[in-house]
Chain A
Amino acid sequence: MEILNVVWTFFKIGIISFGGGWSIVGIIKSEVVPRWLDEAGFRSLVAIAQSTPGPIALNAATLIGWDQGGFLGAIAATLSVVAFPMMAIAAAGWLGPKIPLKKTALDEALRTGSMAMMLMTLWALRPDSADPVLLGLGVLAFVFAAFTKLNSLWAILGAGAINAAFGPFLRGLFGIAP
């Protein structure tokens, strides 16, 4: 019953999914590669999760659950990643006012934590191939996302389309067999 492992893994990921979106991706990768996906498969999964509606951790859970356990697997994995966050909100509703927390200190601690998670994600997802076309698309995506206000969806779809249509031709220019 591999799907039970998927559910347990994503439940644990849900506990530490602080800081929104990209921060958690490196940790997801360390949990699912190479168990359920290979390196390239994970990169495509992240690109798909980021160019479809919905939070990235949730989308990753849905796709891996679907892969490992079909429709019911997808439902179970999706619910498992949000189970702990929802319990935390419910618990805070009961206990919240009774716990004296220093708000700014907590915010700063979480910011430092999520910045560290982002750096770990960057390290885990550093370019893994020497292919000049793929490296070039990565650099273009950085410039696009760091210096324009456009939605990164367009960088993802554009890079996919460029590589699908012109990849073999471009590699021919660099003298690499397509």
Chain B
Amino acid sequence: MNSARDTAKNAPTALRLFGLFAGISAVTIGGGYAIVPVIGNALEKRGWMDEKEFYDLFARAQAFPGPLALTTAVLCSIKLAGFRGAVAAFLGVIVPPFFALILVGSLLGRFGSLPAVRRFLDGAGATVPGLVAAMVWRNAKKRKWTAFRAVSTIALAVALALLPGMSMPILLGGILLLYVSEAAWKS
């Protein structure tokens, strides 16, 4: 891998990283878990990073807040091209969606009150509870459940639902408590 990385012809420069991530970000729809494997394949194909190295960085990205596609792209690019690479990846990930949303926002401003458009938006919005339920279902099936995890998941969810204005202290405090308990459990 290092030999490919060192040849100037194919080196991961800031400009190339920007182009790569802008391209991926512009065409990948469906959130973090859809885009992350695409990033991994692209980096591997260019010989910039092997699969193991990529998934280590992806695992680290999950410990940070923020969209997974963004944090993964930035962590990979720091490794490949330092601070300039990180800035390039950051812009690459956020610029294409930004303009797509501005376009959609202005179209809605103009056509949003037409009855057919309203019905389209109502129909699209009606899928949201179903999609969230499917996400919960998939994640609940994957989770390694213990009694402690089940009880704390439900307690935290109820606290968040009852006190929406306090979500930040509840979550940060909750995750800290969970971390301490999980760590104590192991040792």
Residues of A within 8 A of B (CB): 12, 14-18, 20-22, 25-27, 30-31, 40, 43-44, 46-59, 62-63, 66-67, 71, 74-75, 78, 82, 84-86, 88-89, 92-93, 102, 104-127, 131, 133-135, 137-146, 151-153, 155-157, 159-164, 167-168
Contact = CB atoms under 8 A, between A and B. Distances in A.
Interface stretch (B2-10, B44-52, B153-161): B153-161
Interface residues of B, number: 86
B129 A127 contact: yes
Contacts of B31: 20-22, 50, 55-56
A109 B94 contact: no
Interface string B76-94: 0010000000100010011
A108 B171 contact: no
A86 B66 contact: yes
A161 B117 CA distance: 9
A64 B167 CA distance: 20
Contacts of A66: 101-102, 105-106
A102 B86 CA distance: 26
Contact of B156 (A116, A127, A131, A137): A116
Contacts of B135: 21-22, 118, 145
Contact of B126 (A89, A137, A161): A137
Interface of B: 25-34, 59, 62-71, 74-75, 78, 86, 90, 93-94, 96-98, 100-102, 104-106, 108, 116-117, 119-140, 143, 149, 152-154, 156-157, 160-161, 164-165, 167-168, 171-172, 174-176, 178-179, 182-183, 185-186
Nearest to B24: A53
Contacts of A52: 29, 97, 100-101, 104
A127 B128 CA distance: 9
